[in-house]
Structure 1
Amino acid sequence: MNGLPQSEVTSEQILARILESLDDNKAEDVVQIDLRGKTSVCDQMVVCSGRSSRQVVSIAEKLVEDLKHDLGLLPKIEGQDTGDWVLVDTGDVIVHVFRPEVREFYQLEKMWMPLGKTAQTVT
C-alpha cells in the first residue's frame, strides 16, 4: 500500500496501519474503541502508552511518518512538546499516546466505553 489517494483509503486500512505501527514501535497496552454510531468525531479511537515522554513522542512521530509514507495521509499531531499525551488525528481514527500516569489520570477508555463493557485490547 504505497501512496493511495486519501479518498480511497478506508478507516479499516487506517486502523490496520496504525495498529501495525504501534506494535512495531513497542507501544504498550494498546486499546481499540469502536465509536461508529456513537460520535461524529471519528470511527475508531486507539489508546496506548509509552514508558517515557521520549517514547511517547517517538511512537506518535513514527506513526505520523508511517501513515504519510504508506497511505499518503497527513494526520494532525498535538502534544509532542511535552510528551505526556500526544494526539494523532487522521479524521477517521484518533490515536492517544500517553505516559502511563497521565493515561490513568484521564481514563479515556472508561469515558468512551458503554457501561458494563471493557475496551478491546489489541495483542
Structure 2
Amino acid sequence: MSGRIDRIVDLLDAKKGEDIQVFDLSDREYLTRAVVLATTLGDKHTLALLDYLKEDLKPAGETFLAVEEGEEWTVVDLGDIMIHLMVPEYRAKYNLEEFLDSLEKREA
C-alpha cells in the first residue's frame, strides 16, 4: 500500500499539488485505510490533477470505484485509499486534517 500512496504523492507533487498530506487510518474507525489530501492551484488545476491521476493510475491497475468531480473539490475513491483535491478556500473551510486526526482508534 505504501508504494501506491508514494506513487500518488509523487504524481501530485510533480503536477504542482500543494501541501500534500497522507493520513494512515488503518487503525481508525473510518471507511478507508488511507487518505491523501492535496491543495490545488485553482478550479482548472483540480480537474487537471484528476486527469493526471486517471492517466497514471488506471494503467498501473488502480480501480476508480467512484469519483465526485467538482472544480473546487474532487474526491477519488480507490477503495482502500481516498484522494481529496481541494482549492485553498475549501481546504481551509472544511479542515479535513482536524477531522481525520480526531477519529477514534479501533479497539483490538
| TM-score after normalising by structure 2 | 0.86
Alignment match, 1:8: none
In the alignment, the residues of structure 1 paired with residue 41 and residue 30 of structure 2 have an alpha-carbon distance, to the nearest angstrom, of 31
Deviations 1:68-119 (A, max 9, x none): 12x212312212xx3110001111110100000011000000101149xxxx
Partner of 2:43: 53
Sequence identity, in percent? 29
Q: Alignment partner of 2:92: what SS? A: helix
Q: Distance in 1 between matches of 2:51 and 2:74?
A: 9
| Aligned counterpart for 1:25 among listed residues 15, 31, 34 | 15
Give unmatched runs, 5+ long, in structure 1. 1-10, 116-123
1:57 aligned counterpart, secondary structure: helix
Q: Relative contact order (alpha carbons < 8 A, sep ≥ 6): 1 or 2 greater?
A: 1
2:62 is matched with which residue?
A: 73
Instruction: Provide the aligned length of Structure 1 versus Structure 2.
Output: 102
Runs of at least 4 residues off by over 3 Å: none
State the shift of 1:64 in Å: 1.9
Tell me, yes or no, if structure 1 residue 90 matches structure 2 residue 81: no
